[in-house]
Amino acid sequence: MHIVVCVKQVPNPEAAFSMFKVDEAAKKVVPASGLQMVMSPFDEQALEAALRIRDAGTQARITVMTVGTETARAVLKHGLAMGADDGVLLPDPAFQDGDAYSTARVLSAAIGKLADCDLVLAGRQAADWDAGIVGCGIAELMQMPVITFARDVRLEGRGVRVERVVENGFDVVEAPLPAVVTVSNELGAARAPTLRETMRAARKPVMVWSAADLGLKEGEAGARAARRILERLFVPPKKGACELVEGATPEEQGSNLAQRLRQAKLL
Amino acid sequence: MRKREIEGDWILGWPDRKRPEIIPGKDAEGRVINGRAPVTELAGLITPIEAYYIVNQLEAPEPVHPYDWKLSVKGEVQRPFELDFEGLMKLPGRSVRAVTECAGNDAGFFDYLRKGAKKPSRINQQDMQKRAEQRVKGEVPSNEEISSESTTTCAVSAGEFTGVPLAEVLERAGIKPGAVCIRAQGFDTGHPDTAVIYRSVGTRNFEIPDPGVIHYEKALPLEKALDPDTILAWAQNGEYLWHVHGSPVRLIVPGWSGNWWVKWVEEIEVMKAMPKPFYQTEYFVYGESAQDPDKPPLMAMGVRNIITEPLDEDSPLLRGSHMIRGRAWSGMGAITRVEVSFDEGKTWRDAHLEEPRERWLWRRWSCLWEVDKPGQYRIMARATDETGRVQPQTPWNFQRKHFDWIVPTDITIVEG
Amino acid sequence: MSTGGITVVAELSRGEPTALSRELLGLARGLVDALGGPLSVACPAADGQAAAELIAYGADRVYASGEPSAQDYDSDVWTHWVAAATREAKPGAVLIGHTTSGADLAPRLAFRLQAGIATGCVAISAEGGGLQYTRPCYGGNVRETVSFNTPLAVATVRGGCYDALARDSQRTGETVTIGRDPAARRARVLERQRESGGDVRLEDARVVIAGGRGLNGPDGFKVLAELARELQGAVGASRVPCDLGWCPHSMQIGLTGKTVTPELYFAVGISGAGHHMAGCGNARNIVAINTDADAAIYKDARWGVVGDYRRIIPSLVAAIRELRSTERTGNS
């Protein structure tokens, strides 16, 4: 069983937004220097889902894969320290500055190159662009079934069984392998790296593939292959002044608030 | 004594004296790969691990978790076997307190005493970070750097090591007759850095063969290997070995210089002929020159002694009473006597030698000096060990190793 | 950008178009009025009545599968069917509600049809003969506006950003049947587990009371429930209480989780991070109750109360009851 987990390095989404600057002219979000770069949390949970499959008794080779520059090697290391077996880094500049479509193309080509992948896991969306496209995109490009928003992923027979979160409950969905599953936070917290896995991680192999290695030509990846055109990037203005409801005690504040709401005809 | 302001720090929430720390050199990822010990700041006998010196001949390896580690015992033995960490700790153990010293420590004093070269300081003068960066980048030091005075001091520390005598492990394996040495191999690998050797010698005018990428290994003569104080240690100063000090297991060879104390031990091989490991054939050898046909490997150190108080840097001092302090140790046994001279060696008097008397740990000594007349003074101290050896014992050698000559401290006394 | 019009994918709830689907029709109507072309709706489970409703809310044409019983979302079958309907309709854009179904369907559809894709949009406008899509990113703190270099684009749209048209039963339109292909199914839904809902769905509630980390424990939701009962509102949560197990995930409001558009939104012990505001930002009136006077939530709130919710809310509930009883008895 070979599970590939697609992960992305993002600026720490828990950091206060004051640590980010939006350069409207350059149409770029610039994190403050010193802002930690981390594995997108839903991707951590996708890797957690893979590790749980292994913990449940399946002999699985787990590969973490990322499109990103050399700095993204750190998220592969983090994935290896959580328990993945090997990594694939795709740092070719030809892969950069694309969109979800071009990224899905590169990842699909890399997964295809591994040739024996049974299950692709990814976070439901990346914590920077929040788009939630690449997982389904890989499935379409590789003509695999896809199940989204998983809160539980198990192998059953020659297929995968997923509890898929919907608005007011969940569906139990089964698909034959190979398949793609995207993972949502309802899966639960991802495990922290142990000392042992952290030490072992340093010796686990990381393959580095270029566009040529993947057989991708000019225009098939990165900015040249993108479908999306970024017209504008901006911080939406905040609404306006907030009226503070005072009171000598919290109880008084409560009754004053009731008065305000009534005056505004909201009660 | 001129009072130095004691620097402070916050220790467990309280304001307190600053603690001694290693002077480190780090790699590109901020990991310490070399370091010197602040010897002049040490107060007692055991050097805190935070201050313990570090020297690596090859690359510091990636850590191995103790539960992933195995020791392989093989070669000329009746029962070759593998031992895991728990298994090693189950064998009858022992603790040993000993000085660890780099063979090249104090090398610069050779040229100072022979040729009047610049006198090295007991306070570390080496730019450890620059050295680390050069090492990491594989930079070739300039000829000037190679031939300039050796400045290595502070490459000495002392610790308490807990582990299992190598002899215990070998007994389990059953040494076959005819065995002459034990080869200990670490899981650290790398390309020997010739710059280190050229620096040690002070010139580049000789060839060093390139063995390629090798493991660090030393072939320990059988007799020393079977000494009960030669142990495979898993703990230092009361805690499990730090990775930088050779975790999970380090070979402790008391009295022999640091290059014998193989870190990151993974293999013990009993051999019936002495092999030729790089680090006891090309480096860490005696000899008159690189071309000397007779270059035996360094083994037991000489008789060592350093004056830690006052330092040259403390000059000038006021006339009156001053306590002279130092520490002495030997590669062959306990220090039994330290004598001090204030008249260039014409007369000597015994210093007070502190208990305990231990074979491998340094002994602190002190001597009260009453001085009345302002002027220039040289203070000398010499040590004797339990085998009767008096320093100096080590002749000059082309790699400038195992220095153990008497180094005077130069003090100016003023009126006040 | 073609003038092929727009196709809206509509979802049904108990046989009727959802509020979000109606909002999409309102949005799409405005766009086709600007750019031309028909407004079609793809709704696989629509029967005659549902189709008539969709037309009354603005559709010119409704594509249905002729199998109204199959209302529940099925990813493979819907993707295949909506693709077929889209190929028939040939629109310039396909708009889908940003629900768990829509967020699954839209990227699959886009890749299958070589189209651009923008998810979670909060605004779509006609610019220079084409469409531009604005969506939150970076945890809801930043907006990006994008367009596409493809003839077709697929977008999901969040609830509460647009208004439905007024229902007009005089509107006419046609219904076209496109058969479903069950053979398209590879992933099978074995069972569907649904929570027995509260009286009010979060997405439909006029009043929502949401709790965050500042509740300091699951018991805080009991306090919120009191207020919900008094105002016939629904109780929701930010992501932290859900991840901590203080309440079910189905209560989560945010960038992931539900989008709500109530008239009155109480944010209790919620800091106001972008992630959460993306789910409630379109509430008409926000009341923030928090012990941290510097919390970001106050920038989005109309009223702010700095203090302990455990004392403020019971007093608020009592005061509301008092006001209502005096109203009933005709006193002021």
Q: What is the pLDDT of residue C3?
A: 53
Q: What is the pLDDT of residues C124-156, one digit of tens each?
A: 999 988 999 999 999 889 999 999 999 999 999
Residue of A35, A103, A125, A133 to mutate, interface with C, max C Cβ within 10 Å: A133
* A233 within a domain of the structure (yes/no): no
- For residue A246, tell me if it sits in a domain: yes
CA of residue C214 relative to chain centroid, distance: 26
Q: Is B64 on the interface with A (CB under 8 A)?
A: yes
Which of B37, B33, B70 is CA-nearest to residue B52? B37
Same domain, yes or no: A40 and A112 = yes
Contacting residues of C for A20, CB less than 8 Å apart: 138, 141-142
Amino acid C133: pLDDT: 98
- Domain total of chain A: 2
Whether A139 and A255 map to the same domain: the answer is no
> Are residues A213 and A90 both part of a single domain?
yes
Q: What is the extent of the structural domain holding A255?
A: 239-267
Cβ-in-10-Å burial (0-12, 13-18, 19+) of B68 comes to: middle
pTM attached to this predicted model = 0.88
Looking at the DSSP bridge assignments, the partners of residue B104 are none
Same domain for A261 and A154 = no
Task: Count Cβ neighbours within 10 Å for each residue of B22-55 and write b for 16 or more, e otherwise.
Answer: bbbbbeeeeebbbbbbbbbebeebbbbbebbbbb
Looking at the domain assignment, is residue A234 inside a domain? Answer: no
Q: Are residues A111 and A138 in the same domain?
A: yes
Shared domain for A243 and A220, answered yes or no, is no
- Ranges of residues in chain B with a pLDDT under 70 are 1-3
Chain A environment of C144 (Cβ under 8 Å)? 129, 230, 232-233
Domains of chain B in start order, with CATH, are: 66-103+154-281 (3.90.420.10), 303-414 (2.60.40.650)
**One domain, residues A177 and A252:** no
Residues A259 and A193 in one domain: no
Whether B65 and chain A come into contact, CB under 8 Å, resolves to yes
Which residue of C148, C242, C323 is in closest CB contact with A227?
Answer: C148
> Shortest CB distance from A255 goes to which of C148, C306, C315?
C315
In a domain, residue A231? The reply is: no
A45 in a domain, yes or no?
yes
Length of chain A (residues):
267
A195 touching B (Cβ < 8 Å): yes
Mutation to test the C interface, candidates A22, A146, A171, A255, most C Cβ within 10 Å: A171
Place of tokens 């009371």: C209
SS (H, E, C) chain B: CCCCCCCEEEECCEEEECCCCCEEEECCCCCEEEEECCHHHCCCCCCCHHHCCECCCCCCCCCCCHHHCEEEEEECECCCEEEEHHHHHHCCCEEEEEEEECCCCCCHHHHHHHHCCCCCCCCCCCCHHHHHHHHHHCCCCCHHHHHCCCCCCCCEEEEEEEEEEHHHHHHHHCECCCCCEEEEEEEEEECCCHHHHHHHHCCCCCCCCCCCCEEEEEEEEHHHHCCCCCEEEEEECCEECCHHHCCCCEEECCCECHHHCCCCEEEEEEECCCCCCHHHHCCCECCCCCCCCCCCECCECCEEEEEEECCHHHCCEECEEEEEEEEEEECCCCEEEEEEECCCCCCCEECEECCCCCCCCCEEEEEEEEECCCEEEEEEEEEEECCCCECCCCCCCCCCCCCCCCCCEEEEEECC
Residues A196 and A256 in one domain: no
Query: Which of chain C's residues have a Cβ under 8 Å away from the Cβ of A29?
Result: 138, 142
Q: Which residues of C touch A250 (CB under 8 A)?
A: 307-308, 311-312, 315
Q: Write out chain C residues lying below 8 Å of A139, CB-based.
A: 108
Contacts of A193 in chain B (CB under 8 A): none
- Contact assignment for A243 to C304 by CB distance below 8 Å: yes
Per residue in A151-206, pLDDT tens? 999 999 899 999 999 998 999 999 999 999 999 999 999 999 999 999 999 999 99
Nearest CA in chain C to A260: C303
Residue-level pLDDT at C102: 97
Is the CB of residue A258 less than 8 Å away from at least one CB of chain C?
Answer: yes
Distance (Å, whole) CA C245 – CA C256: 16
Cα–Cα dist B32/B217, whole Å: 22
Q: Domain holding A131: CATH number?
A: 3.40.50.620
pLDDT of A212 reads 96
Contact B67 A196 (CB under 8 A): yes
Residues A158, A249, single domain; the answer is no
Q: Are A208 and A244 in the same domain?
A: no
Q: Model confidence over A216-256: pLDDT tens digits?
A: 998 899 999 999 999 999 999 887 789 999 999 999 999 99
Three-state SS for C164? coil
Between helices A250-263 and C309-328, what is the axis angle to 10°? 40
**pLDDT given for residue C203 in this prediction:** 87
Measured between CB atoms, does B29 come within 8 Å of chain A?
no
Chain A closest CA to C49's CA: distance in Å?
A: 25
Specify if A140 maps to a domain.
yes
**What tokens does B201 get?**
């010698």
Nearest to B162 by CA among B46, B42, B81: B46
pLDDT in tens, C253-312: 998 889 999 999 999 999 998 889 999 988 999 999 999 999 999 999 999 999 999 999
- Residue B93: what residue type? G
On whether residue A232 sits in a domain, the answer given is no
Question: What ipTM is given for this predicted complex?
Answer: 0.95
For the segment A60-115, what is each residue's pLDDT rounded down to a tens digit?
A: 999 999 999 999 999 999 999 999 999 999 999 999 999 999 999 999 999 999 99
Domains of chain C are: 6-184 (3.40.50.620), 202-328 (3.40.50.1220)
- Tell me if there are at least 3 CB pairs under 8 Å linking chains B and A: yes
Question: How high is the pLDDT of residue C4?
Answer: 80
- CA C249 to CA C233: how far, in whole Å? 18
Confidence of residue A19 (pLDDT cuts 50, 70, 90): confident
Given CA atoms C249, C253, C258, C264 in this order, what sign does their dihedral have?
positive
Residue type, B305: N
Confidence label for C1 from pLDDT (cuts 50, 70 and 90): very low
Instruction: Report yes or no on A30 lying in a domain.
Output: yes
C198 has pLDDT over 80: no
Sign of CA dihedral B281, B284, B289, B294: negative
Same domain, A187 and A260: no
Q: Give me the total of CB pairs closer than 8 Å, taking one residue from chain A and one from chain B.
A: 14
pLDDT digits (tens, 9 = 90+) for A120-143: 999 999 999 999 999 999 999 999
Using an 8 Å CB-CB cutoff, list chain B residues near A196: 65, 67-68
Confidence (pLDDT) at B151? 84
Does pLDDT of C238 surpass 50?
yes
